[in-house]
Structure 1
Amino acid sequence: MFVFFTVALPVLMFLMFNQIFGQELSGEDGQSVGTFIMVRMAAYGGLGAALNAGAMIQIERANGWLRQLMVAGLQPRSFVVGKLAAAMVVVLPALFGVFLAGILLAGVDLSGPELLRSLLALWVGMVPLVLMGLGIGLALKPSAVGAVTTIGMMLLAVAGGLWFPYDMFPTWLQTVARFLPTYWLGELGTWGILGGDLPMRGVLTLAAWTLGLAIACAMLLRRAARRASRR
């Protein structure tokens, strides 16, 4: 099911949206609309894989492994870094899957540097989303993690402009979107293709989310360590 929701479903959605809208020219550097649909569907797949980091924590909490690590004195920073690194690897198939579908099945034409720059921007932009998944897994009861992750993924995808164009949003939702990591994730992926000036507001927004969520994860882990020491 994980592979379906993070790789197969985004690929299918990309192919469907590309068939309907993808052949139009966007007016941005002569690229087709399908190119930018590809970027956002890759971001959507990566979003699902990133937030799934909470499910990994859920399993470790349920089987007692997380408690054993805390009792053994594992430092919160080491735990967060380790889980972040593992989840960032898991994100890659979701990104590669949609990009491969775009190139091999939909005729998306990108140069090597454009392709690598867009993929790298999307991948690095996943860091705060992985931390968000870890935070959900640490903060909530295991029984609630799945539902909250699914709802959060849908809200972030829709409000962040991954499913629908940002220009279609009402003014208030456009304002909200510009504070969300998913909006800037799509924008950075697009920047990788179009080039030009790096969207620094997006970089700063993602950095702020990363810092805040990293601190939250560390605090939640310290709470888990205190609870483990009392048992």
Structure 2
Amino acid sequence: MMNPGLPLLPWIVCVAFTFCAYFPGHVAGIRKDISLSAPIMCRSTVQGRHLISDDNGYICSALSINPWSQCCPRTGSRYSCQGCKLDLQCCNSYEYCVSCCLDPSRTKEADVLKLKVAKPVTSGTYRNIFDFCMGRCRHSSASVVHENAYASDFHHCFLVQQNSSGSVESDSGPRLPGINISIGRRGESCSSVCRAKGQSCVPSRLSALNKCEM
């Protein structure tokens, strides 16, 4: 007796072959036009609660900074000197001082990398211009009077000066910010001269005058 399923075998084989012809084997390929760029990461100031400046010179609000890259939006202000006295290179805001200081037209990286972080001879030098700007824009002893008050609202400074030998030296701001210089008679004390003009003597600033650094 003939098996009724045998005549169907050629059709099954044919259909299977035709089905496979429409679906070719695995095809592999490599795209060579894809390049993965390195992610942009920034260093930023962390001193203020409201403003932040990154190491590219952009300044933004603390809420608008990218939490992953720590970069300010590129649509914000760059190298902004808002609230700064450019003749003194001093600002009334730390973040704007850093942003203004990072401007290559105001601060030369080749100059600041030669400067020491502190006065002792064992102190190292700044690693980059961002470290310099962050360090110099913080107020120092030269920006306060009576050890508990600022001499001026513009106490964030990044001034770089040249000394008599031609080498650069940094200064945290004007020598006597907010101080009026009065000349007294020989033998007259600082307190009596200032009291006569309704002012008070600041002994901590006499050393700068005596060294003729003005």
Same fold (TM over 0.5): no
TM-score bucket (shorter structure): under 0.3
Greater fraction helix: 1
Greater fraction strand: 2
TM-score when scaled to structure 2? 0.26
Max radius of gyration: which structure? 2
